[in-house]
Amino acid sequence: MRTKVYVNIDHIIAVQIGQQITNKLEWIYNQWQRILDKQMSLEQEIPIKQKCLQWIKVGDKPFQFTDSALVTQPKDLEQNDVLIQVYSAGVNPIDGKMAAENIAHVKLPAVVGYDVSGTIVGIGSSVKDFKIGDDVLGCLTFKRGGGFQQYCVTDESVLIKKNPGVSHEQAASLGVAYLSALDGLQHVRNQIQGKSVFVPGGSGGVGHFIVQICKILGASPLIASASKEEGIKLLKETYHCDHVINHAKEDVVAKIQEITVGQGAHIVFDSTYISSSFEKSIRSTANGGSWIVLGKFAQEGSVEEQICQQQNVKLIHADLGKYSAKPEFEAKRSEFFRQGLKEACEWILQGKLKPYINQQPTIEELETAIEKLRKGQSGFGKVVAKIH
């Protein structure tokens, strides 16, 4: 005798869907609980005092290290600010220049340091893009700074979330140097593919990013210069420049003319800060080409401007400072900083961009690192400090 079994398919489906919903809700609850636990943990760990390299005066010996600087607490944050536990901070020439001249008219005592990577441990009431526990990186404004301390406060608009595949050290190497390179290249970005590009001092902090961006964008031939064997090797073997000129031993202008068959390089980006390099790099530029200079050099009426006019060369200034000083650029700052840093991180994840970090001083060693950088004794690539 056979027994008939009636199966209510709708009931089974309903049970399965119900179980799936329950599982999903449990997963969401667990994830949210982890976030809350992490937030509570981070909030509880915020100390009252911290290690910090304070900027106490303008001029000689402007810094003073302390291990008892006060930490801004989350309850005291402005509405658009975040509090970051800083793990790594990039060191740049602007750190020493700012302390020596106070070009941003900052009220002292203060803290320099503009490239940071760390974890958000506090947020203001109107912060929308981040939550406590997010790993972030950013480029702080020159008016505010604050990177050379264990806990820094900044506006959320200059930050992006850090992908786990990008280390804190890599993230903190970007900021000022990478965005300075990008600021100059944005004017010629669509012209780089298949064109000759020359980067004097291509192994430097900004220079090694210029070289890599131009390589990614298809510059051909890509030419750089350096004076020491380590820098030459870096440019040839790591960044795959087509030609590397030893500017201490070779005639740069003649060599560029030889490589480009008498035309000169279509684009030249001089980030050396060395005036003796400028005339050579301008004369290495093709008729009708572009000469990009980093910093407040080659101003109206300068020798460099006159040579550019004589050579029929377009003069382009790369200056990240304008995003902290001029209202028309301040309005564009968040978009430029965020898009630039996101692109850099994507290229790092793809293996296309490789920041070269040659020194990692501790926060206690920062003052010495800044002085060595000022004297040109820091070697190649970037210096990134360990803050936590």
> In the predicted model, is pLDDT for residue 35 greater than 70?
no
- Residue among 171, 224, 180 at smallest CA distance from 198: 224
pTM: 0.88
Domains, the chain, ranges and CATH? 49-174+327-386 (3.90.180.10), 181-319 (3.40.50.720)
- What pLDDT sits at residue 40? 55
Q: How confident is the model at residue 6 (pLDDT cuts 50, 70, 90)?
A: low
- What pLDDT sits at residue 100? 96
pLDDT digits (tens, 9 = 90+) for 139-160: 999 999 999 999 999 999 999 9
pLDDT digits (tens, 9 = 90+) for 359-384: 999 999 999 999 999 998 988 999 99
What span, in angstroms and rounded, lies between the C-alpha atoms of 103 and 95?
Answer: 11
Cα–Cα distance list, 233 to 196, 228, 242, 330 (Å): 21, 9, 12, 39
* In the chain, alpha helices (H): 9-45, 93-101, 168-173, 175-185, 207-216, 229-233, 252-259, 275-283, 303-310, 322-325, 327-349, 366-374
What mean pLDDT do residues 13-26 have?
A: 79
- What pLDDT sits at residue 28? 80
pLDDT digits (tens, 9 = 90+) for 222-237: 999 999 999 999 999 9
- What pLDDT sits at residue 150? 99
Q: Which helix (H) or strand (E) holds 64?
A: strand 63-70
- Residue among 215, 210, 219, 211 at smallest CA distance from 192: 219
CB 382 within 8 A of CB 356: yes
Share of the chain above pLDDT 70, in %: 93
